[in-house]
Amino acid sequence: MDIRYYGHATFELADEGTTVLIDPFLTGNPKATIAADDLNPSAILVTHGHGDHVGDVVPIAKRTGAPVLAIVELAQEFGEEDGVTAMDINIGGTVNFDWGWVKMVPAWHTSTTPKGTVNTPAGLLVNFKGTTVYHTGDTALFSDLELVGRRNPIDVALICIGGHYTMDRFDAVDAAALIGAKTVIPCHYNTFPAIETDAQAYKADVEAQTNSRVVVLEPGETHSA
Ligand code: NI
Ligand code: MN
């Protein structure tokens, strides 16, 4: 399967016509290399309600009919939109799809949508056709990151490293050690000046201090897992 990075925290998992889109933020993203109108996901997954994670959810869901999976408060807001199929979940829960399953796990952050809906932010453990991908969402470093992969070992972790709104690249090294994924792909950095960081330095630190391999993707690039 392919993991396509569209910049910021936006990823697409793709295999033979099935595509799962996570946290679409293309419109207004200065680093985006693709337009929201060019994406045709089978499902959309959302970690939390901040504008840089939900930005293009509603237009893509309306155009494609792709269901949107999000925590209950956020799913309710999406479901109020005409033509949007919302699926709810809460932290600790698992939802099955014909391509796999999604489990919602904790993240330390805050979240209110641009419309004002308060919601608890989360991470997402996604089993896509047998490959387990963990999107950390916007989180700080916390020790329970270690629990996420205990029953479901993680193939690829998508870890925020930009600092300021999330953990920085130094805390994210400890996060990678706790998560223990085979492969780490850093995200949520260099989109704006406040979150500029050195992804190659992060890669060097993680590979020196953990057993994980780091793949640094530029927006628009794909990693085959
Ligand atoms: Ni956020
Ligand atoms: Mn964010």
Q: What is the pLDDT along the chain (225 residues), one digit of tens a residue?
A: 999 999 999 999 999 999 999 999 999 999 999 999 999 999 999 999 999 999 999 999 999 999 999 999 999 999 999 999 999 999 999 999 999 999 999 999 999 999 999 999 999 999 999 999 999 999 999 999 999 999 999 999 999 999 999 999 999 999 999 999 999 999 999 999 999 999 999 999 999 999 999 999 999 999 999
Q: How far is the CA of 48 from the centre of ligand 1 (A)?
A: 7
Q: Is 23 inside any structural domain?
A: yes
* Per-residue pLDDT, 103: 98
Angle at 40 between CA 111 and CA 84, to 5 degrees: 55
Two tokens at 2? 């392919």
Whether the Cβ atoms of residue 167 and residue 207 lie closer than 8 Å to each other: no
d(CA 202, CA 34): 26
CATH number at residue 66: 3.60.15.10
d(CA 102, CA 94): 5
Structural domains of the chain, count: 1
> Considering only CA atoms, which of 180, 133, 179, 177 is closest in space to residue 158?
133
Q: How far is the CA of 165 from the centre of ligand 2 (A)?
A: 7
Q: Is 70 inside any structural domain?
A: yes
Q: How far is the CA of 144 from the centre of ligand 1 (A)?
A: 19
d(CA 144, CA 89): 20
Q: Is 222 inside any structural domain?
A: no
Express as a percent the part of the chain with pLDDT over 70: 100
Q: Is 93 inside any structural domain?
A: yes
Burial label for 202, CB within 10 Å (0-12, 13-18, 19+), is buried
* Per-residue pLDDT, 34: 95
Q: How far is the CA of 56 from the centre of ligand 1 (A)?
A: 15
Q: How far is the CA of 82 from the centre of ligand 2 (A)?
A: 26
Q: How far is the CA of 68 from the centre of ligand 2 (A)?
A: 18
Q: Is 86 inside any structural domain?
A: yes
Q: Is 69 inside any structural domain?
A: yes
The DSSP result for 151-166, as a single string, is: SS--SEEEEE-B-SSS
d(CA 120, CA 22): 17
Q: Which domain holds residue 113?
A: 2-214
Q: Which contiguous run of DSSP H or E holds residue 174? A: helix 171-179
Q: How far is the CA of 196 from the centre of ligand 2 (A)?
A: 13
Q: Is 104 inside any structural domain?
A: yes
* Per-residue pLDDT, 127: 98
86-89 and 68-71 beta bridge pairing:
parallel
Q: Is 13 inside any structural domain?
A: yes
- H helices of 180-215, where? 199-209
